Structure 1
Amino acid sequence: MPLIKLLTIIKADKNIVFDLSRSIDLHKTSTNHTNEEAIGGRTEGLIKINESVTWRAKHLGIYQILTTKITEFKRPEYFCDEMVKGAFKEFKHEHHFKEIKNGTLMTDHFEYISPLGILGKLADKIFLKKYMIDLLEKRNQTIKEFAESDKWKEIIK
């Protein structure tokens, strides 16, 4: 099971970073290159515990549908979303937030199992893990950009 761990330092209040991280609207902005759209469940605003969202997006040249659910939630320190339905065999994405001097340390733990057994493991090694890292890093850069400017006020009302 591949594990991706990303650390992002953001010069902003932990509450703002937490809310931006669970914003459906900001997620759409960070994934506009994949034509990602929320098509079911919570489709805008801030997702909460036990809520789900269904996404439609073009990844690796193929339109895919993925549903995730918020399974754990402790504001503003932590939340977890897990795949309910989609292309992966399973995935779990933990979001951790820690107040540090002059800002917030945001830590992502993303674990997944690819489908197709040995072929999925081969895909992980060749391209999938890097693809997922790039996607998560782009998302985190968008959160950072909004949190470190007044842009966050467009998202959190």
Structure 2
Amino acid sequence: MRQFETITHIAAPPAVVFDLSLDVDLHTASMARSGERIIGGVRTGRMALGDDVTWEARHFGIKWRMTSRISAYEKPGSFVDEQVAGPFRRWHHTHRFVPDGRGGTVMHDEIQFAAPFGLLGAAVETVVLARYMRNLIEARNVHVKQRAEESARTS
């Protein structure tokens, strides 16, 4: 199993960043490069505790499906999404939103994942997936940051 953390500083209040991070429309827009789309569950707007969404996207030239569920939710401080069906043996993503003391947010993403297929999956995690998944999360966070800061400026 692999794990990593990303930290993103955002000039917007935690409640704004929290809400945007649960918005499936924003998520879909942030993953446009992989053609990600919703094929089940919550199809628009913001997810809440217990909600599921099924995503379909193309990564490495292969079409993948993953259903994730919001399994913990403490607005505006944190939430967790976990895979309930999909390509990973395990996917657990904790999102934390900490006030930065200046009206902004320090967004922490803590990801744990494990590929299927035993030793072969472990090798793929090390050689390819760890960097690929970090890059996906960081690209998504750039999108969240831009939208949150735009929202804060116009409020």
2:33 counterpart SS class: helix
Deviation string 1:98-152 (CA, Å, 9 cap, x unpaired) is 0012310000000011101111111111111000000000000000011111399
Equivalent residue, structure 2, for 1:128: 129
**Identity in percent:** 36
Equivalent residue, structure 2, for 1:32: 32
TM-score computed with the length of structure 1 as normaliser: 0.94
Matches within 5 A, 1:1-157: 1-102=1-102, 103-150=104-151
After superposition, the Cα gap between the structure-2 partners of 1:152 and 1:87, relative to the gap in structure 1 and judged at 3 Å, is farther
The number of equivalent residue pairs is 153
Deviation string 1:65-84 (CA, Å, 9 cap, x unpaired) is 10000000000001001000
Distance between the aligned counterparts of 1:119 and 1:152, measured in 2?
48
TM-score computed with the length of structure 2 as normaliser: 0.95
Distance between the aligned counterparts of 2:126 and 2:14, measured in 1?
34
Q: Is the 8 A contact 1:16 1:152 kept in 2?
A: no
Query: Quick one: which amino acid aligns to residue 23 of structure 2?
Result: S
Distance between the aligned counterparts of 1:30 and 1:60, measured in 2?
18
Deviation string 1:8-36 (CA, Å, 9 cap, x unpaired) is 10010111100010100000110000100
Q: Is the 8 A contact 2:12 2:152 kept in 1?
A: no
Q: What are the ranges of 5 or more consecutive residues in structure 2 without an aligned counterpart? A: none
Query: Quick one: which amino acid aligns to residue 12 of structure 2?
Result: A
Distance between the aligned counterparts of 1:43 and 1:100, measured in 2?
32
User: What value does the CA root-mean-square deviation take over the aligned residues?
Assistant: 1.3
Query: Quick one: which amino acid aligns to residue 72 of structure 2?
Result: E
After superposition, the Cα gap between the structure-2 partners of 1:120 and 1:152, relative to the gap in structure 1 and judged at 3 Å, is farther
